[in-house]
Structure 1
Amino acid sequence: MRTPPEARNETGGGDLTGYRIGDAYELIEPIGGGGTGTVWRARSLVQDEHVAVKLLREDLMAEPKAVNRFVQERAILLMLRHPHIVRVRDLVTVGTSLGLVMDLVEGGSLRDYLHEQGTLPPAEAAMLLAQVAEALAAAHKRGVVHRDLKPDNILLDRVDGRLHCRLTDFGIARILDTPSMTTPGALVGTANYVAPEAVYGGRPAPPADIYALGVVLFELTAGHPTYAGGPAWAILRRHVDESPRPVDGMPDAIWQVVQQCMDKRPGRRPSARDLAATLRTVARRVRDLPALPPHTVDNRPTTPGPPVPRPRPAPTRSRRAFCAAVLLALAALAVPAWNFLNRPGGEVGEARPGAHSTAAPAGGGSPSAVRPTARAVRSAGAATVGDASPAGPSGRAATEATEAWQDWECGDSYTWDLGHPAVVQPCHAVGTGRVRLVGHMKALPGIQADVTISLVDADTDELVAGPHLCAGLMFTDFAPSHDCGPFVDNPPRGHRYVVVQKWVYSGRSILPGGEVRGKEFAW
């Protein structure tokens, strides 16, 4: 036996191999890990058998929600007793951290198995997921929603020589009708498996688990999830806007189950109990069919490897007619159909539908009330912008008519991961006497954000002008992107500056927000 010094009794530092947890368990070796901690193989000193101990990351111990969620996992799993759910045995303290003692499942995860095989025979995929559906049925009966169903959280072992699924990691599960441990409206889960209603921060419910299981069934059969490829925000958008397509050779019986599970309307998805029965019936119908060759996202057979993006499906006749009607309406209203994010080197001085700006005196100052940006009047080297200059309307117009502006320069910092489902880009343009600032933002429908644009000294990071506020920007199917600005400022000469664009999600808050910096420039 080896007991580490007290300084190393933290899960975040030192080697805990051989460390004894009281008189009950001895850590042997780490065997896995995730966002909340590390999983160790351990030996039960009482029963002389191996178990798994999941240690909470040391830095998370200072986060009350993380600790509560970790303790909640024990409470949930102690409630659940099912052959296809990993059994929790104990909650222990390890140094200054917490440990969750569980049954040790030796066969690895379904993700590991799929990586080895490329794809599974349809009958095997259906039978394995029938076991998972039975586990979900037991959880849903007790009011528990898993919320993060994916191959990584499905463990495998063998019983009587046959593969046996064990569902694990209920750490972010929610007990229905109980206050959530997560921020209200928070988006929890993994992008490839998130149900459309969850993208908008909807209340977790059993149909969300069924949706994820449909994605997993597709993945086991085709070799990739339904909407694999691209950034997380784009995958989330496709869950909302698109419908999955079968790969070549996918059995109709499998495809019908995928369609039922991934119905956009949660109420039309099957229950976990009915799904388990359906999958067992499907397994018998397709038992003689071989595994498909692994496919990329565009349905071309290939060897196992990273997926590539597939093109969006061609619009249906009704969708084309709908889009044509919208375009005609926009044209009648003389609204410019222009999207900066889809035009390299686009001119950003022109206001777009829904763009906001906060007028401020040159050189900064408090922003005034939010109002639509004035349309840019573009001519040879001149433009009109909506700022409130001390010179007054007539003086400002005369100044703008004679002021020459250089081309817009935009930062290349885009933020599009799951934590910030948005594409953001701040820009600046230098004139003969002043500087213009603007910020672009594109986000998922249903998101509302408050955006600020500031000018800071690139060397000292001190605020020079702003922050200019664009409050309550609402992103919808018809207005997926907005500009904040342009604004005109007159910073001191002889310095280097950078435009900083910040945003916080407002209304039904989904995520905390973020910050992006533009290109540095001399003035």
Structure 2
Amino acid sequence: MRTPPEARYDTDGHYSGDLTGYRIGDAYELIEPIGGGGTGTVWRARALKSEEFVAIKLLREDLMAEPKAVNRFVQERAILLMLRHPHIVRVRDLVTVGTSLGLVMDLVEGGSLRDYLHEQGTLPPAEAALLLAQIAEALSAAHRRGVVHRDLKPDNILLDRVDGELHTRLTDFGIARVLDTPSMTTPGALIGTANYVAPEAVYGGSPTPAADIYALGVVLFELTAGRPTYAGGPAWAILRRHVDESPRPVPGMPEAVWKVVQECMDKRPGRRPTARELAVTLRVVARRVADEPALPPQPVDDRLTTIQPPVPRPRTSPSRSRSVLLAALIVLGVLAFPAWQYITRQHGTETAADPHVTAVPAVPPASGGPAPSPHAAASRGAARTDDKSARPSLQPGAHAEASDAFGPWLCGNEYTWDIGHPVLAQPCHAVAPDRIRMVGRMQSIPGVQADVSMSVLDLDTGGLVDGPHDCDGLMFTDLAPKHDCGPFEARLPRGHRYVVVQKWVYTGRALLPRGEVRGLEFDW
């Protein structure tokens, strides 16, 4: 029996170690990877006793240290064991693979509904209605058990053939919610994929079965038109249209199909049909439109590609900032994030006398001993500060004298978000008669990892005079949304003007831009 090699992940966070041929006890043998996502990889495998092929979904090993990720993984198994339905992928087993977990499920060979739609362009209305009637029946079974899927989309609908006809299987209950039980999601978090999010969920409303019905209406539109109702443009614009606008019919869409789309996408959740009602309606619609041909794929609505992003303003109202920030973070593909923390931090009721300066106390290390040397603190992870007493407070306008000859911390503004940066970063410095001290504060959404560095630039010459001091692999999670890089100390030449620079690179997210923010300029 092979032992699993050291875990390795590519730039998208997918497992890149070779587990081909690895046997899980005397039960399964991994054959080849057939899919993957942000939480792990799906493998084709063989059941050794029955010679039957199965699918095994492996949780990324680095997520084993994240309690919420493990809990969601185990919850998915519990939900699928509870939901026995011909149109829901069946779970068979929970296994350990090296230091990770694996879900053993039915192997569905026909690919996803997304793959099928890409091949076909659009589907005949009758076929679309029949396929989604099956999914509505699966949702009805889930809703009766108090389970809301929360991420219904073509990617999570698998296809196989039964007696020569397409047969759907609903999968990926990893972020499903069991009603009337404690939620594992951060309160106020936005869950789902932008094209399919119900308007009430954009504002962090509690999940209900009606949200799944809304998403199914979007999918029905997409199967017949070749695009989602609000496809095109940035995700924040798509979310805004879910809230502010209603879908428009496309030429040639049968009236019976369009009526179902309208009913499912009603802005009022209570006016949407139940899953059981929808399943019956879709089968009736399929008979009515049996002779209707597939429409040509529809172009993206031009209105969606010409919207300009909002210009960030320092005193935007909290309600507007909430929706804009939620949408910006969706662009990053993050399924859940504690957005309310950012709103209160960015738009508190207090303001400093000088909006560009936050003065806070410089405090010595918690031990009371000398500050760590830059070289020691620059080792991997060593510069993270979890002791709140060692951090500069971020309360505006706070002042205090340090006990070790350093003046107060002087901090620049927190990094103003823009699309592509899911972090708030804030470089700070404090001065003593013979040296300066610097620290970089960071706060981010769960699931982001970054390598951070701190440096000092001479503004007179443009040259680097100290650093970079590196803090590698800062991992932001629900339990650890904040990290410090530093503090570091430096002795600088006198008679110059300086600035502390904080830089970061997102680890495992190659598409995200690097970040840089400068602190306050100071004379030394």
The TM-score with structure 1 as length reference comes to 0.63
In the alignment, which of 493, 498, 515 is matched to residue 495 of structure 1? 498
Q: Greater CA deviation, 242-251 or 102-111? A: 242-251
Q: Which residue of structure 2 aligns with residue 19 of structure 1?
A: 22
Q: Which residue of structure 2 aligns with residue 45 of structure 1?
A: 48
Q: Which residue of structure 2 aligns with residue 309 of structure 1?
A: 304
Q: How far off is 1:252 after superposition?
A: 1.1
- Confirm or deny: 8 A CA contact 1:231 1:416 kept in the other structure: no
Q: Which residue of structure 2 aligns with residue 155 of structure 1?
A: 158
Q: Greater CA deviation, 157-166 or 243-252? A: 243-252
Alignment of 1:72-221 (within 5 A): 72-221=75-224
Relative to structure 1, the CA distance from residue 417 to residue 78 in structure 2 (aligned partners, 3 Å threshold; closer, same or farther) is farther
- Confirm or deny: 8 A CA contact 1:191 1:418 kept in the other structure: no
- Confirm or deny: 8 A CA contact 1:413 1:516 kept in the other structure: no
Distance in 1 between residues matched to 2:277 and 2:192, nearest whole Å = 24
Q: How far off is 1:184 after superposition?
A: 1.9
- Confirm or deny: 8 A CA contact 1:20 1:27 kept in the other structure: yes
Residue ranges of structure 1 left out of the alignment (5+ in a row)? 300-307, 313-352, 368-386, 389-409, 425-454, 463-491, 501-514
Counterpart amino acid of residue 209 in structure 1: D
Distance in 2 between residues matched to 1:164 and 1:358, nearest whole Å = 62
- Confirm or deny: 8 A CA contact 1:498 1:521 kept in the other structure: no
Distance in 2 between residues matched to 1:123 and 1:244, nearest whole Å = 21
Relative to structure 1, the CA distance from residue 282 to residue 49 in structure 2 (aligned partners, 3 Å threshold; closer, same or farther) is same
Distance in 2 between residues matched to 1:149 and 1:170, nearest whole Å = 9
- Confirm or deny: 8 A CA contact 1:42 1:52 kept in the other structure: yes
Relative to structure 1, the CA distance from residue 359 to residue 230 in structure 2 (aligned partners, 3 Å threshold; closer, same or farther) is same
- Confirm or deny: 8 A CA contact 2:4 2:19 kept in the other structure: no
RMSD: 3.9
In the alignment, which of 353, 358, 378 is matched to residue 352 of structure 2? 358
Distance in 2 between residues matched to 1:355 and 1:456, nearest whole Å = 32
Q: How far off is 1:35 after superposition?
A: 1.4
Residue ranges of structure 2 left out of the alignment (5+ in a row)? 308-346, 362-395, 398-412, 426-453, 458-463, 469-494, 504-513
Distance in 1 between residues matched to 2:356 and 2:198, nearest whole Å = 47
> Matched residue of 2:50: which SS?
coil
Counterpart amino acid of residue 188 in structure 2: G
Q: Which residue of structure 1 aligns with residue 284 of structure 2?
A: 281
Distance in 2 between residues matched to 1:264 and 1:417, nearest whole Å = 29
Q: Quick check: 1:252 aligned with 2:255?
A: yes
Distance in 2 between residues matched to 1:111 and 1:120, nearest whole Å = 12
Q: How far off is 1:182 after superposition?
A: 1.6
Q: How far off is 1:246 after superposition?
A: 1.1
The alignment covers a number of residue pairs equal to 365
The TM-score with structure 2 as length reference comes to 0.62
Relative to structure 1, the CA distance from residue 95 to residue 123 in structure 2 (aligned partners, 3 Å threshold; closer, same or farther) is same
Q: How far off is 1:495 after superposition?
A: 2.7
Distance in 2 between residues matched to 1:293 and 1:5, nearest whole Å = 48
Rg (Cα) greater in structure: 1
Q: How far off is 1:9 after superposition?
A: 11
> Matched residue of 2:35: which SS?
strand
Relative to structure 1, the CA distance from residue 361 to residue 254 in structure 2 (aligned partners, 3 Å threshold; closer, same or farther) is closer
Distance in 2 between residues matched to 1:94 and 1:362, nearest whole Å = 52
Distance in 1 between residues matched to 2:194 and 2:422, nearest whole Å = 10
Q: How far off is 1:230 after superposition?
A: 1.7
Distance in 2 between residues matched to 1:98 and 1:360, nearest whole Å = 52
Distance in 2 between residues matched to 1:79 and 1:129, nearest whole Å = 22
Q: Greater CA deviation, 20-29 or 175-184? A: 175-184
Q: Which residue of structure 2 aligns with residue 266 of structure 1?
A: 269
- Confirm or deny: 8 A CA contact 2:502 2:517 kept in the other structure: yes
Q: Which residue of structure 2 aligns with residue 4 of structure 1?
A: 3
Q: Greater CA deviation, 184-193 or 83-92? A: 184-193
